[in-house]
């Protein structure tokens, strides 16, 4: 794992967006997994702007969504589906057959997990995974205590995720479970970028890069990734021993 510190949120997002652009230029049939949330929002926007400006052909790229709130329909503005659709998929004209998002209102969530695992396997694995980090150290919905060996799974959401998660919704929703790619997917991804910005993430970033590698703090698995990058702004780097 390598740590990269940027001056501010914008330069961090520029760097992450450039990573995506370089990948799809070099590998037009790349498998790209993105996270939703406040942190990757600007990365997604800049990626879309750059791809349009540079007229990059994305028609062979496969897009994988990291996770979803179980029971929340895609038209809800707080869903991950809605985020991906508005920030990336519609502006870049991705066709439905290129895009794989968990169907969080399917009655068979187990089948959703196996479908996602098979797609990733058949496509030859994820080339680039870009994730955020939760205030409890989660990645996607890999909550504290989850095994590092899981592929896609459904999980009871941690109390921190349940309360912080309301920020994405205009009106309060009942959240209980999440469906998510697992940390085994992260470990197998050819490259992983974990992004964080702002002073409120300084504590979790310090634990991610300097803490013990432990199931109780899922993001600590980043330390083991040989092509993993923790990309943060100066505020999020505030508690790291320098």
Catalytic machinery residues: 67, 136, 138, 143
Kindly report the backbone phi and psi dihedral angles of residue 43, in degrees, each rounded to the nearest multiple of 5, phi listed first.
-60, -45
Q: How far apart are CA 152 and CA 142, in angstroms?
A: 10
Asked whether position 39 contacts ligand PGA by CB under 6 A, the answer is yes
Query: Of residues 17, 31, 120, 133, which one binds ligand PGA by CB under 6 A?
Result: 133
- Quote the tokens at residue 83: 């985020």
Of the ranges 70-78, 115-123, 126-134, 205-213, which one interacts with ligand PGA (CB under 6 A)? Answer: 126-134
Query: Of residues 64, 78, 81, 132, which one binds ligand PGA by CB under 6 A?
Result: 132
Asked whether position 137 contacts ligand PGA by CB under 6 A, the answer is no
Sign of the Cα pseudo-torsion (179, 99, 221, 199, in order) = negative
Asked whether position 228 contacts ligand PGA by CB under 6 A, the answer is no
As measured in angstroms, the least distance from the Cβ of 173 to ligand PGA is 16
Of the ranges 14-22, 31-39, 105-113, 176-184, which one interacts with ligand PGA (CB under 6 A)? Answer: 31-39
Contacts of 10 (CB under 8 A, 6+ apart): 42
Contacts of 62 (CB under 8 A, 6+ apart): 29, 30, 31, 32, 98, 100, 119, 123
Query: Of residues 65, 78, 134, 228, which one binds ligand PGA by CB under 6 A?
Result: 134
Tell me the CA end-to-end span of the chain in Å, nearest whole number.
16
Asked whether position 210 contacts ligand PGA by CB under 6 A, the answer is no
- Quote the tokens at residue 111: 């089948």
**Which residue lies nearer to ligand PGA by CB, 58 or 230?**
230
| Interacting residue ranges for ligand PGA, rule: CB under 6 A | 37-39, 132-134
């Amino acid at each position: 794992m390598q740590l990269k510190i940027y001056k501010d949120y914008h330069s961090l997002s520029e760097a992450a967006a450039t990573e995506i652009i370089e990948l799809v230029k070099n590998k037009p049939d790349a498998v790209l997994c993105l996270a939703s949330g406040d942190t990757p929002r600007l990365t997604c926007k800049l990626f879309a702007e750059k791809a349009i400006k540079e007229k990059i052909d994305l028609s062979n790229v496969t897009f994988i969504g990291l996770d979803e709130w179980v029971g929340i329909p895609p038209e809800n503005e707080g869903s991950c589906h809605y985020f991906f659709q508005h920030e990336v998929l519609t502006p870049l004209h991705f066709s439905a057959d290129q895009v794989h998002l968990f169907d969080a209102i399917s009655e068979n969530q187990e089948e959703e997990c196996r479908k996602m695992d098979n797609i990733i396997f058949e496509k030859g694995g994820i080339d680039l995974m870009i994730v955020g980090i939760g205030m409890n150290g989660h990645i996607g919905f890999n909550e504290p205590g989850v095994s590092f060996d899981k592929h896609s799974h459904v999980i009871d959401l941690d109390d921190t995720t349940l309360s912080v998660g309301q920020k994405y919704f205009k009106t309060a929703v009942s959240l209980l479970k999440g469906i998510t790619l697992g940390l085994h997917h992260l470990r197998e991804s050819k490259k992983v970028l974990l992004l964080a910005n702002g002073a409120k993430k300084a504590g979790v970033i310090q634990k991610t890069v300097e803490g013990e590698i432990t199931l109780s703090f899922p993001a600590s698995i980043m330390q083991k990734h040989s092509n993993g990058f923790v990309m943060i702004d100066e505020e999020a780097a505030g508690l790291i021993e320098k």
